[in-house]
């Protein structure tokens, strides 16, 4: 009885129903789809900078330094040039004096080449070599090379990849490194390393 | 060397402090030391007027009237690194948390600035960067590189100079031993002219802090709240802070 | 009889009018409110750029207007869904013209209230950390959960009973057609559909009540879970819920009276509705006072120094004025005016309910600020005065609320049409039969029907 | 097309549930108050499910109801 | 589902908008991330190194270690091997970096056509040339007495060099502006002892301590040492019950740490001290011979009986609103724990009648064998003395305490200036002496004023030439040992870094002048430039016992047998004391002045009496705190923020009022109040506290700079505007005095 009485007085026009199935809901769909996809994208964007800790464009290094020659062939240990690695937080880039030890007279062990000539004149000029820094960490991260290299006994390659094979200087952080430069990588390594000191306490790395 | 050291050998500590109020003269040297060590910028006079001074440790003054006079006491107040820290319970993003060796950490990069931890802290020791800190360019260049410069909108607090603990741990690890007490002293303790502050491992019964804690003069601030602060005050007199 | 001959549609014309005719007044008000909102937005952009320094908050008083308003608005939100659910549940027939408005209030206010914690963030740009690294241990996240759930439930609870009305609008061919087509969900009022609808409504109203209660309980937990003197209290859960319902009814009454006037709903919202609601208000006011009293008595009797310090700060200290004003508006005034039938007129009810809303806002202020301003330890306390930013954002929030309500009124009927019709058609018999059911049975003189008819 | 709202509802519900799940993962990963996380999620999950379920019930029911009447003579 | 073109386009546009938004957003976030890097592109390895220097903010001369990371100074720390500080540093010491890198520092000399005129920066030689000409002129005309040099620095080889340079010029006056010297001088009259000697006081071994206006834990002498030894004393089982008493009007941090605080009205200390002496001397054999001395010289012309009556504990207690039990307790303590030392501090010397208070304080030691080698007050020689003699700088002369007032007093009454050239070396007379406006006016009458200072301060504003000086961290010196620390040793102050500003040390300027002939006969410094002079001195030290120059000679213990002789030796002689309150006094006073000053007497100042207060008038007592140091360190933001910390204030000065006085004036903590004195009116914040005696307003000295860098200028109020400019003739101390003031809510 109640159901009967409360049925819409003028029964609905089929036309309206038809309309219902065609366009308009689609419009609604489009709008919401557009909205949601843009929302997703913008979310993605807002997460990106978390990973972006390094320059995303290639930088031009002053000299085409070949790690391969120095590390693989001459077997110079990394820490001879990157003096900070064992002593301090930052493994530094040699500014010239260290290069001069071998190169000041211009005849490096494997003969003359153009790059070395440029190096020599740079050294002669007395200016430090304008290396461009490519591996950067955000300010709130404190990464101590000493802690990892000396205390943790971790090999450079583990993080920096096969540097010994490189023909060219780093024009951007080497990919394997950069992709995982986010916290996830550190945490993963810290969790799997058996070292009791390598916990996941935030204060270990964050200042 | 560090390789040999297994987890069992690595001692877990409970770093704590004893403040001898019979020695403390409220000179404020600890405050200055903290400011220098932890890159705490000076507030502008206007901010100070509004009560927005950034301080990780402050010298509080308590006055208990005795007729026309008062028994005044001055005591340094800093983060108490509670064993059962109310602030860490309420943080929504794991920005303040119970860290290694019982230190209560504060991660500025994570903090969203809801200031819930400040509201929850019964000791009112957390401070907030209400606006972008202004640094004299001359002085900004000479800040301590081991501590980050904070920015607008995050909560900060005393960390017991945990960066010094990090250094000490590194050195210990390199030498393949445990951290000794003398390796790690916060700036305020190091500088105190009256030698009123003693810092050490509360779990180690022989440490200065632990013995102080056992002393009959010793008591904790607001112990009735059960927060188990890692800082114990020593006071010979009846008056308490 | 003469009534029933008129088709229900045009009998309820006044309910459609707001949707189909829009006067200049609407645009004027909307523009005005919009201006306020925009100013608020501007102020917020400022705050986003410069940090919370632009507010009046300071070292001991780390929470101010934003949190106060957050609690306040979420409180208001209990107007709706809870009340309408309760009324529906125990089949209070006079609910029919009220429920819709109540539910709308809930939906809108929840949106606004839920925004406030974000205003309060020191780094809104890191808001996503809550989702990325959230800790469910923090009462703040309980809030996020509860409020989302409550919002979901109450919007559904607003939408589902609205389907028949939307269908009506669709059938009238009101524009925008696609909207009504889309939302009416092919409602034709078949018995099956009605049955589905009723069942869904029953489920929802049972679901909504605990959720609503949980929401404000959890909000009270934000404070009660800390050790802060004046906050650390077990009574806070019920206290907040009661306060919320109280302020909700107040707000509901204000809205009803205003829109009754604006849209000429006198025929629908009669004095009896207000009378009943105001009785409810009176009851809540008394319960509220009871809880307040016991809250303060325990603190006072215990003589716990910190507790006492906070209390004195409220009773006789800098916050004495708001405190006693609160007592006046929340207890003295309502009891004085609403308890007598003679004074229970619509204007006086309006006054009282506005008073209640203001008073409840003051209560939130009284709860949030003094406990922070009087910490346990010796800390140089600084007076808290809201800055222009905070005030204008509060104004913007209120304006947004009215705006939202107005806009809603432009698309959907503020009074549930089909429920009114249902009321007209079935409720009377239903109610009378129900009442008959309550009454004792006649002394059984077995009268065989046949004979009975024979006697006639 | 008609199921858009329906889809959204479930998207919302599942979204929230995923969120809760993620939070539990975080709690486990950082060894931080897992018990709380578990408790809260146990409380919250059914609520969302009920809401979503009810709405589904309504949508399906209404559609069925509508079609039923159309098939009626 | 089929995708219509319109819909596709919409999707595309939507995505486009978002991506472009992202392109706009991302670089900015990237930049944000990069500019947050701690260092520039090539960061150093982070090697830490330390370079040492000495902090000269107070006579304790703690040694500093400047911490450098990759040669970039990042902070200061104490050095644990410093005998006095043991690695501790006080507030001021730690803020030195801020002074170092203060952008407002002077880099080049400033020259003014006349006092107060706009300054223009000149080249170094140019600036010194002006000074050179002036001095040369006076030297040639043989008017050396027209040259006066005021030295505000703590004692060191540098000050000694300056002093001997000045003294080499016949008649020229060298005036050290150091309150410690006033006390030294007083004690010297008691204990004898050679010139340049130091009062030595071994807190660690003293019995009962009665501190009279002596803030041993704050700034008198060496806070850093005193604080520690005070703590040790507390823990020393022998002394743990020996009480510390504090007699003063304000409950300073020292008083907070003391066991008893005996509050007394400012300027009434001597009454209480005499009462204690009277009570203590009861069974002393010499009582009858000495009391008359007291009676005659200190207080009033009373016979012993009258003296005993007047200074009985009861009457004094009554007059000072104390209860007798307190005083009796004090007497008991002083009897019981020996040596019981009464230490009159600079706090009371900075009074018009400070002499009487200080005298009474010292005299009290006669009864409690407070003059003892171990633990008591004793006399030690400054280790620098011998050294400087060997360096050919001559013996340190005895500074005439009255000399500064002799210069300034005539100028107050606009007279001809007694000097033509006044050189202020790191002495900000205008700001640090009472009666700012008077001093300023006085300076403006001096034909030529030169000031050496790191910043352009109030004094250099009134000087014709302002010569920049170096911060301690940048300069060489040989600071002398700490006041009262027995184990003090000489230490070398090296530059911890290359000077931040291109500047010269004061000594280099002096040596330059000397080598140019601007010096008296007999001025023969070791070397041509300052650095070599210090080096020579250091070599001398090394010859001696590895620099440990503590020298116990020259101490003289004072047996109580010769007490009366001591009193006589004290009160007879040059400085004649007459109770200034007596009507006959002023006449004698002026005579006394006549011989001392030559010409005129000092402005009569009567010791304050409670009765002097008009209704609802209060005593203003300016006090000195280590965080303010009479304003010398307020150019450092940190000090501005810390100085008022315990009262919850920052960047502000304050006054402390007792509730009894605050209530009728409706003043609550934090209110702004006006303080109207006889000479001026200042406005600052009020702190209502029971830490001061009723009817007393205590205000910190040092705030309210008008110059001295942008940080210090215009912050707070300087209470020294209120009192009259009085420099006590006997102690040479600026009489800050208690000033009767009106206090009202602003």
pLDDT digits (tens, 9 = 90+) for E664-717: 999 999 899 999 987 889 999 999 999 999 989 999 999 999 989 999 999 999
Q: How many helices (H) and strands (E) does chain C have?
A: 22, 0
Torsion angle in degrees (nearest 10) through CA of C117, C120, C121, C124: 80
| Long-range pairs for D4-10: beta carbons < 8 A, 24 or more residues apart | D4/A25, D4/A28, D4/A29, D4/A32, D4/C182, D5/C182, D5/C185, D5/D55, D5/D59, D6/D55, D6/D56, D6/D59, D8/A32, D9/D51, D9/D52, D9/D55, D9/D56, D10/D52, D10/D56
Tell me: pLDDT of E610 over 60: no
- Residue E619 β-bridge partners: E696, E740
* D8 and chain B in contact, CB less than 8 A: no
**How many CB pairs (< 8 A) connect A and E?**
87
Residue among C190, C192, C203 whose CB faces D54 most closely: C203
Instruction: Give the pLDDT score at D43.
Output: 87
* E3 and chain A in contact, CB less than 8 A: no
Lowest-confidence region among C222-226, E224-228, E291-295: E291-295
By C-alpha distance, the chain C residue nearest A42 is C128
The answer to whether the CB of E420 falls within 8 A of the CB of E446 is yes
Tokens of D26: 């975080």
Tell me: pLDDT of C12 over 60: yes
The answer to whether the CB of D48 falls within 8 A of the CB of C152 is yes
Position E572 confidence tier, pLDDT thresholds 50, 70, 90: very low
* E531 and chain C in contact, CB less than 8 A: no
Torsion angle in degrees (nearest 10) through CA of D11, D13, D17, D19: 60
Choose the mutation target among B85, B91, B94 for the interface with D, i.e. most D CBs under 10 Å.
B94
Torsion angle in degrees (nearest 10) through CA of C329, C333, C335, C340: -150
Mean residue pLDDT of chain E comes to 78
Tell me: pLDDT of B5 over 50: no
The answer to whether the CB of C224 falls within 8 A of the CB of C233 is yes
- Could you tell me whether strands E465-468 and E618-623 are parallel, antiparallel, or unpaired per DSSP bridges? unpaired
Q: What number is the ipTM of this complex? A: 0.84
Instruction: Give the pLDDT score at E34.
Output: 52
* C204 and chain D in contact, CB less than 8 A: yes
Choose the mutation target among E33, E654, E670 for the interface with C, i.e. most C CBs under 10 Å.
E670
CA distance C200 to C184: 16
Tokens of E744: 């009202």
Tell me: pLDDT of A183 over 90: no
Alpha-carbon distance values, E301 to A194, E292, E353 (Å): 89, 9, 17
Average pLDDT (C419-436) is 84
Average pLDDT (C74-87) is 86
Using N-to-C axis directions, what is the helix angle for A14-21 and A23-51, rounded to 10°? 30
Sequence-ordered strand ranges (E) for E60-172 = 63-69, 72-78, 110-111, 120-121, 147-151
HSE value, Cβ hemisphere, 13 Å, CA-based, for C357: 21
Tokens of E603: 């402005």
CA distance E180 to E484: 11
Tell me: pLDDT of B52 over 60: yes
Position E297 confidence tier, pLDDT thresholds 50, 70, 90: low
- Residue E63 β-bridge partners: E54
Tell me the three state secondary structure of residue D34: helix
Q: At E96, which helix (H) or strand (E)?
A: helix E96-100
* D30 and chain B in contact, CB less than 8 A: yes
Residue among E7, E22, E30 whose CB faces A41 most closely: E22
Check B2 against A142: CB less than 8 A apart: no
- Name the residue with tokens 């004061």: E506
CA distance C418 to C97: 10
Q: Higher confidence at residue C110 or residue B145?
A: C110
- Name the residue with tokens 């990157």: A82
Instruction: Give the pLDDT score at B95.
Output: 93
* C135 and chain B in contact, CB less than 8 A: yes
Please name the residues in contact with E390: beta carbons below 8 A apart, sequence gap of 6 or more. Answer: E540
Backbone phi and psi for residue B17, each to the nearest 5 degrees, phi listed first: -140, 150
Tokens of A41: 């994208």
Backbone phi and psi for residue E394, each to the nearest 5 degrees, phi listed first: 75, 165
* C206 and chain D in contact, CB less than 8 A: no
Mean residue pLDDT of chain C comes to 89
Tell me: pLDDT of A134 over 50: yes
Contacts of B97 in chain D (CB under 8 A): 32
Please name the residues in contact with E236: beta carbons below 8 A apart, sequence gap of 6 or more. Answer: E204
Position C181 confidence tier, pLDDT thresholds 50, 70, 90: confident
The minimum CA-CA distance between D4 and chain A, rounded to whole Å, is 7
Q: How far is CA C59 from the centre of its chain?
A: 33
Lowest-confidence region among C333-347, E12-26, E161-175, E573-587: E573-587
Residue among E19, E42, E46 whose CB faces A89 most closely: E46
Alpha-carbon distance values, A98 to A75, A93, A127, A157, E107 (Å): 16, 10, 13, 22, 38
∠ CA(E741), CA(E743), CA(E744), 5° rounding?
Answer: 150
The minimum CA-CA distance between B209 and chain C, rounded to whole Å, is 23
CA distance B161 to E52: 23
CA distance B233 to E577: 49
The answer to whether the CB of C130 falls within 8 A of the CB of B92 is yes
Burial of residue C345, with CB atoms counted within 10 A of its CB: 0-12 exposed, 13-18 middle, 19 or more buried: middle
For chain C, give the percent of residues with pLDDT over 90. Answer: 62
Check B227 against C379: CB less than 8 A apart: no
Tokens of B155: 């909560």
The minimum CA-CA distance between A196 and chain C, rounded to whole Å, is 25
Tell me the three state secondary structure of residue B90: helix
CA distance A17 to E291: 121
Please name the residues in contact with E15: beta carbons below 8 A apart, sequence gap of 6 or more. Answer: A37, A38, A41
Instruction: Give the pLDDT score at C1.
Output: 39
Please name the chains neighbouring D, where neighbouring means 3+ C-beta pairs under 8 angstroms.
A, B, C
* A202 and chain B in contact, CB less than 8 A: yes
Position E381 confidence tier, pLDDT thresholds 50, 70, 90: low
CA distance E62 to E74: 19
Tell me: pLDDT of E662 over 60: yes
**Helix locations, D1-73, DSSP H:** 4-29, 34-71
- Could you tell me whether strands B231-234 and B218-220 are parallel, antiparallel, or unpaired per DSSP bridges? antiparallel
Burial of residue E212, with CB atoms counted within 10 A of its CB: 0-12 exposed, 13-18 middle, 19 or more buried: buried
Tokens of E234: 């507390």
Position D73 confidence tier, pLDDT thresholds 50, 70, 90: very low
By C-alpha distance, the chain D residue nearest B96 is D32
Average pLDDT (E468-486) is 76
Contacts of E648 in chain C (CB under 8 A): 379-380
Instruction: Give the pLDDT score at B188.
Output: 95
Contacts of E647 in chain C (CB under 8 A): 380
Q: How many CB atoms lie within 10 A of CB B77?
A: 22
The answer to whether the CB of C403 falls within 8 A of the CB of C33 is yes
Choose the mutation target among C129, C137, C138, C184 for the interface with D, i.e. most D CBs under 10 Å.
C137
DSSP collapsed to 3 states, chain A: CHHHHCCCCCCCCHHHHHHHHCHHHHHHHHHHHHHHHHHHHHHHHHHHHHHCCCCCCCCCCCCCCCHHHHHHHCCCCHHHHCCHHHHCCCCCCCCCHHHHHHHCCCCCCCCCCHHHHHHHHHHHHCCCCCCCCCCCCCCCECCCHHHHHHHCCCCHHHHHCCHHHCCCCCCCCCHHHHHCCCHHHHHHHHHHCCCCCCCCCHHHCEC
Alpha-carbon distance values, C361 to C76, C237, C246, C313, C323 (Å): 10, 17, 11, 18, 11
Average pLDDT (C228-255) is 94
Position E585 confidence tier, pLDDT thresholds 50, 70, 90: very low
Please name the residues in contact with C398: beta carbons below 8 A apart, sequence gap of 6 or more. Answer: none
pLDDT tens digits along B151-196: 899 999 999 999 999 999 999 988 888 888 888 999 999 999 888 9
- Residue B16 β-bridge partners: B200
Q: How many CB atoms lie within 10 A of CB A133?
A: 18
The answer to whether the CB of C429 falls within 8 A of the CB of C422 is no
The minimum CA-CA distance between C64 and chain B, rounded to whole Å, is 11
Tell me the three state secondary structure of residue C132: helix
Q: Which of C71, C155, C185, C61 is nearest to C117 (CA)?
A: C71
Instruction: Give the pLDDT score at B155.
Output: 96
The minimum CA-CA distance between E219 and chain C, rounded to whole Å, is 26
- Name the residue with tokens 């307790």: E329
Contacts of A199 in chain B (CB under 8 A): 100
CA distance E541 to E545: 7
Average pLDDT (A22-50) is 45
Distance, first Cα to last Cα, chain E? 78
Alpha-carbon distance values, E463 to E435, E440, E442, E450, E726 (Å): 18, 10, 12, 5, 22
Average pLDDT (B118-143) is 91
Q: How far is CA D67 from the centre of its chain?
A: 26
∠ CA(E621), CA(E626), CA(E627), 5° rounding?
Answer: 100
Average pLDDT (A91-117) is 72
pTM for the whole structure: 0.87
A66: left (phi over 0), alpha (psi -120 to 50) or beta: beta
Lowest-confidence region among C50-59, D33-42, E63-72, E277-286: E277-286
Tell me: pLDDT of E35 over 60: no
């Amino acid at each position: 009885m109640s159901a009967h009485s409360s049925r819409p007085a003028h029964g609905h026009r089929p036309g309206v129903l038809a309309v219902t199935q065609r366009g308009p809901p689609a419009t609604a769909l489009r709008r919401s789809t557009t909205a949601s996809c843009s929302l997703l994208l913008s979310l993605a964007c807002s997460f990106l900078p978390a990973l972006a800790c390094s320059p995303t464009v290639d930088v031009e290094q002053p000299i085409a330094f070949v790690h391969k020659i120095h590390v693989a062939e001459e077997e110079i240990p990394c820490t001879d040039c990157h003096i900070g690695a064992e002593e301090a937080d930052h493994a530094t880039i040699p500014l010239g004096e260290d290069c001069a030890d071998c190169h000041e007279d211009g005849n490096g062990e494997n003969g003359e080449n153009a790059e070395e000539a440029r190096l020599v004149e740079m050294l002669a000029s007395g200016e430090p070599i304008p290396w461009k820094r490519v591996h950067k960490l955000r300010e709130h991260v404190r990464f101590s090379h000493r802690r990892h290299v000396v205390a943790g006994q971790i090999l450079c390659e583990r993080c920096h990849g096969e540097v010994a094979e490189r023909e060219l200087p780093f024009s951007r952080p080497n990919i394997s490194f950069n992709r995982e430069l986010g916290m996830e990588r550190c945490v993963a390594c810290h969790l799997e390393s058996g070292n009791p000191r390598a916990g996941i306490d935030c204060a270990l790395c964050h200042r | 060397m560090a390789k040999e050291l297994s987890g069992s050998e690595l001692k877990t500590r409970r770093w704590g402090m004893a403040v001898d109020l019979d020695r403390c003269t409220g000179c404020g040297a600890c405050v200055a030391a903290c400011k220098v060590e932890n890159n705490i910028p000076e507030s502008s006079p206007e901010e100070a007027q509004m009560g927005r001074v950034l301080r990780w440790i402050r010298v509080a003054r308590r006055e208990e009237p005795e007729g026309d006079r008062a028994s005044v006491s001055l005591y340094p107040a800093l983060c108490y690194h509670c064993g059962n820290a109310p602030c860490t319970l309420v943080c929504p993003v794991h920005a303040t948390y119970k860290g290694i060796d019982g230190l209560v950490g504060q991660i500025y990069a994570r903090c969203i600035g809801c200031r819930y931890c400040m509201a929850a802290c019964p000791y009112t020791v957390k401070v907030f960067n209400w606006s972008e800190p202004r640094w004299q360019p001359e002085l900004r260049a000479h800040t301590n590189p081991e501590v980050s410069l904070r920015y607008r909108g995050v909560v900060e607090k005393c960390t017991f100079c945990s960066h010094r603990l990090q250094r000490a741990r590194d050195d210990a690890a390199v030498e393949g031993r445990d951290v000794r007490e003398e390796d790690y002293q916060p700036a305020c303790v190091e500088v105190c002219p009256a030698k009123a502050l003693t810092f050490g491992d509360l779990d180690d019964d022989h440490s200065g802090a632990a013995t102080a804690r056992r002393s009959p003069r010793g008591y904790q601030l607001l112990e009735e709240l059960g927060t188990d602060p890692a800082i114990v005050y020593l006071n010979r007199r009846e008056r308490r802070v | 009889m003469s009534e029933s001959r008129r088709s229900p549609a045009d009998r309820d014309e006044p309910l459609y009018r707001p949707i189909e005719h829009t006067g200049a007044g609407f645009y004027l008000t909307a523009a005005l409110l919009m201006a306020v909102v925009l100013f608020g937005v501007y102020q917020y952009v400022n705050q986003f750029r410069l940090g919370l320094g632009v507010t009046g908050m300071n070292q001991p008083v780390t929470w101010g207007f934003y949190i106060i308003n957050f609690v306040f608005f979420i409180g208001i939100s209990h107007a709706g869904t809870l009340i309408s659910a309760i009324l529906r549940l125990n089949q209070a027939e006079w609910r029919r013209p009220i429920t819709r408005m109540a539910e709308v209030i809930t939906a809108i206010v929840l949106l606004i209230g839920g925004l406030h914690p974000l205003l309060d963030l020191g780094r809104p740009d890191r808001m996503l950390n809550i989702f990325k690294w959230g800790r469910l241990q923090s009462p703040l996240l309980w809030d996020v959960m509860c409020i989302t759930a409550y919002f979901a439930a109450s919007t559904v609870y607003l939408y589902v009973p609205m389907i028949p009305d939307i269908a009506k609008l669709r059938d009238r061919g009101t524009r925008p057609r696609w909207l009504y087509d889309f939302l009416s969900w092919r409602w034709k009022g078949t018995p099956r559909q009605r049955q589905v609808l009723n069942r869904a409504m029953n489920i929802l109203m049972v679901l909504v009540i605990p959720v609503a209660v949980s929401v404000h309980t959890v909000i009270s937990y934000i404070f009660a879970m800390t050790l802060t003197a004046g906050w650390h209290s077990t009574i806070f859960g019920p206290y907040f819920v009661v306060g919320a319902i109280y302020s909700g009814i107040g707000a509901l009454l204000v809205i009803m009276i205003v829109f009754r006037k604006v849209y000429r709903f006198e025929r629908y919202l009669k004095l009896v509705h207000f009378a009943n609601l105001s009785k409810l208000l009176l009851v809540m006011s008394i319960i509220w006072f009871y809880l307040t009293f016991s809250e303060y008595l325990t603190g006072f009797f215990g003589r716990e120094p910190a507790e006492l310090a906070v209390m004195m700060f409220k009773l006789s200290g800098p916050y004495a004025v708001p405190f006693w004003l609160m007592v006046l508006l929340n207890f003295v005034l309502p009891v004085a005016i609403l308890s007598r039938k003679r004074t229970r007129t619509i204007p006086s009810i309006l006054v009282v309910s506005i008073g209640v809303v203001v008073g409840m806002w003051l209560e939130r202020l009284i709860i949030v600020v003094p406990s922070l301003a009087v910490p346990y330890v010796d800390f140089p306390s600084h007076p808290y005065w809201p800055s222009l930013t905070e005030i204008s954002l509060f104004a913007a929030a209120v304006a947004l609320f009215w705006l939202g309500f107005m806009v809603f009124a432009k698309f959907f009927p503020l009074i549930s049409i089909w429920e009114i019709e249902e009321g007209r058609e079935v409720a009377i018999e239903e109610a009378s039969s129900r009442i008959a059911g309550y009454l004792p049975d006649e002394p059984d003189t077995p009268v065989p029907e046949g004979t009975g008819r024979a006697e006639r | 097309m008609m199921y858009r709202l329906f889809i959204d509802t479930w998207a919302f519900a599942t979204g929230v549930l995923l969120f809760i799940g993620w939070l539990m993962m975080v709690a486990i990963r950082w060894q931080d108050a897992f018990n709380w996380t578990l408790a809260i999620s146990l409380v919250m999950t059914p609520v969302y499910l009920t809401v979503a379920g009810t709405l589904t019930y309504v949508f399906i029911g209404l559609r069925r109801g509508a079609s039923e009447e159309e098939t009626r003579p | 589902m089929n995708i219509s073109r319109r819909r596709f386009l919409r999707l595309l546009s939507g995505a486009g908008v978002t991506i472009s938004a992202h392109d706009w957003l991302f670089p900015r976030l990237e930049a944000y991330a990069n500019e947050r890097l701690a260092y520039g592109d090539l960061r150093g390895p982070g090697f830490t190194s330390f370079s040492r220097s000495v902090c000269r903010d107070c006579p304790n001369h703690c040694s500093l270690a400047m911490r450098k990371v990759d040669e970039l100074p990042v902070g200061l720390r104490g050095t644990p091997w410093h005998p006095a500080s043991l690695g501790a540093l006080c507030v001021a010491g730690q803020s030195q970096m801020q002074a170092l890198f203060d952008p407002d520092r002077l880099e080049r000399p400033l020259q003014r056509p006349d006092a107060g005129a706009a300054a223009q920066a000149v080249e170094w030689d140019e600036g010194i040339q002006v000074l050179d000409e002036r001095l040369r002129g006076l030297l040639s005309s043989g008017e050396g007495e027209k040259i006066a040099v005021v030295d505000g620095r703590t004692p060191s080889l540098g000050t000694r060099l300056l002093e001997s340079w000045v003294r080499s010029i016949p008649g020229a006056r060298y005036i050290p502006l150091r309150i410690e010297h006033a006390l030294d001088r007083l004690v010297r009259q008691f204990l004898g002892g050679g010139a340049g000697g130091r009062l030595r006081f071994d807190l660690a071994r003293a019995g009962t301590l009665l501190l009279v206006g002596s803030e041993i834990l704050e700034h008198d002498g060496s806070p850093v040492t005193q604080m520690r030894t005070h703590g040790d004393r507390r823990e020393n089982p022998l002394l743990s019950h020996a009480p510390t008493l504090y007699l003063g009007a304000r409950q300073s941090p020292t008083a907070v740490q003391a066991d008893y605080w005996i509050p007394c009205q400012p300027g009434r200390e001597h009454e209480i001290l005499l009462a204690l002496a009277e009570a203590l001397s009861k069974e002393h054999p010499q009582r009858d011979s000495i009391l008359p001395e007291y009676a005659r010289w200190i207080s009033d012309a009373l016979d012993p009986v009258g003296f005993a009556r007047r200074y009985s504990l009861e009457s004094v207690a009554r007059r000072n609103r104390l209860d007798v039990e307190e005083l009796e307790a004090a007497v008991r303590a002083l009897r019981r724990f020996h040596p019981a030392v009464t230490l009159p501090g600079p706090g009371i010397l900075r009074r018009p009648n400070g002499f009487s208070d200080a005298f009474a304080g010292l005299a009290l030691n006669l009864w409690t064998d407070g003059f003892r080698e171990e633990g008591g007050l004793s006399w030690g020689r400054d280790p620098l003395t011998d050294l400087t003699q060997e360096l050919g700088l001559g013996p340190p002369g005895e500074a005439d305490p009255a000399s500064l007032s002799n210069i300034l007093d005539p100028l107050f009454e606009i007279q001809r200036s007694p000097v033509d050239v006044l050189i202020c070396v790191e002495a900000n007379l205008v700001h640090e002496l009472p009666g700012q406006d008077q001093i300023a006016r006085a300076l403006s009458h001096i034909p030529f004023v030169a000031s050496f200072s790191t910043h352009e301060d109030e004094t250099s504003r009134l000087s014709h030439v302002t010569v920049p000086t170096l911060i301690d961290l940048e300069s060489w010196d040989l600071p002398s040992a700490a006041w009262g620390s027995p184990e003090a040793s000489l230490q070398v102050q090296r530059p911890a870094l290359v000077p931040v500003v291109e500047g010269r040390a004061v000594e280099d300027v002096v040596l330059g002048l000397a080598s140019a002939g601007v010096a008296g006969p007999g001025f023969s410094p070791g070397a041509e430039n300052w650095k070599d002079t210090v080096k020579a001195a250091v070599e001398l030290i090394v010859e001696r016992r590895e620099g440990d120059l503590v020298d116990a000679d020259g101490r003289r213990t004072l047996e109580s047998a010769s007490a009366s002789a001591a009193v006589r030796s004290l009160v007879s002689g040059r400085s004649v004391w007459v109770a200034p309150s007596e009507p006959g006094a002023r006449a004698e006073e002026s005579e006394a002045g006549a011989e001392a000053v030559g010409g005129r007497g000092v402005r009569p100042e009567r010791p304050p009496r409670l009765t002097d207060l008009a209704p609802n008038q209060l005593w203003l007592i300016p006090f000195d705190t280590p965080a303010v140091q009479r304003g010398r360190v307020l150019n450092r933001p940190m000090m501005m923020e810390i100085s008022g910390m315990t009262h919850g204030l920052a960047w502000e000065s304050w006054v402390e009022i007792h509730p009894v006085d605050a209530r009728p004036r409706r003043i609550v903590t934090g209110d702004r109040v006006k303080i109207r004195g006889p000479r001026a009116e200042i406005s600052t914040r009020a702190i209502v506290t029971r830490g001061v005696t009723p009817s007393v307003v205590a205000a910190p000295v040092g705030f309210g700079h008008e110059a001295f860098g942008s940080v210090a200028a215009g912050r707070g109020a300087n209470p020294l505007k209120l009192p009259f400019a009085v420099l006590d003739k006997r102690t040479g101390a600026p009489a800050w005095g208690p000033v009767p003031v009106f206090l009202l809510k602003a």
